Structure 1
C-alpha cells in the first residue's frame, strides 16, 4: 500500500516514465532510485514510502535495458569503428605517399635520360645515390 499522496505518486510515476523513456529533465538519465526521486522532485524518504511505485520501478528496471546505456553502447561501437577507419586511412595515406615518392624519382630519372638522349644540357644534375654497402667497402 502506498503511503504517499496521489500527487507525490503521480510525480514519481511521471519521473519513472521519463527515465525509462530516456528523456530525463533533472538527472543524467541513469536508471537508479537516486535519479528517480531527484527526477520526481521528492525526498528519498518520500520515495521509499511509495512502495507500489518502487515495486513497479524494480520490475521495470530489472527487465528492460536502460535507454541511456543502449545509446552509450551504440556510441562506443561507432567510436571503435571510426578508430579502425582512421587507422586504415592513415595506412592507405602512407602507402600513397611512398608510391608518390617512387613515382617522382622515376620521373626525374626518365627526364634525365630523355634529355641525355636528345643531347640537351640538363637543367639540374641528377646525382646517383651510391649504395651504402659500396661506400663501406672503400
Structure 2
C-alpha cells in the first residue's frame, strides 16, 4: 500500500494531511503561498491545493483549525498589526482633538480679553480727548 493512500487519524491520506497541516501553519504564520492569507476554511483548502470535500473529511485538522481560531482569533498577523496601528492612531487622534479643543477655548478667551481691552482703550481715548490733548511720552523723553 502506498503512503499517500494510508488514511490517518485526521480522516484523510498522509499526503493530504501533510498538505493541509502545512497550509494551516503557513496561514497562521501569515506566510501564504496561494491565497490572500485570511484565516478562512476556503483559504485553507486552496492553500493546501485540495478540494473542499477533502478538507471537510479531515476532521482532526479542522478541529485543530477551530481550536486555534478560538484561542487566537481569526486575524492574521498582518491584520492584527493593522488593527493595533489603527488603535494607536485613534488614540492619538482623540488626544489631538482634546488638545485642539483646549487651544480653541484658550483662543476664544484671549479674543474676548483683547476685545474687552480694545473697548476699554477706546473709552479711555475718548475720555482723554474730552479732557484735553493727548501728549506723546516720546516727546517728553527726547527733551
Match of 1:20 among 25, 28, 45: 28
Q: Which residue of 1 aligns with 2:50?
A: 42
2:12 — aligned with what? 3
2:101 counterpart of 1:91 = yes
Mapped pair 1:119 → 2:134? yes
In structure 1, distance between residues paired with 2:102 and 2:12: 67
Q: Structure 1 residue 39: deviation in Å?
A: 2.7
**4+ residue runs over 6 A deviation:** none
Gaps of 5+ in 1: 122-138
Bigger relative contact order, structure 1 or 2, given CA contacts below 8 A and separation 6+?
Answer: 1
Q: How many matched pairs? A: 119
RMSD: 3.6
TM-score (norm 1): 0.58
Instruction: Pick the structure with greater CA Rg.
Output: 2
Assess, with a 3 A threshold, how the Cα gap between structure 1 residues 21 and 28 changes in structure 2: closer, same or farther.
Answer: closer
What is the CA–CA distance in structure 1 between the aligned matches of 2:115 and 2:135, rounded to whole Å? 20
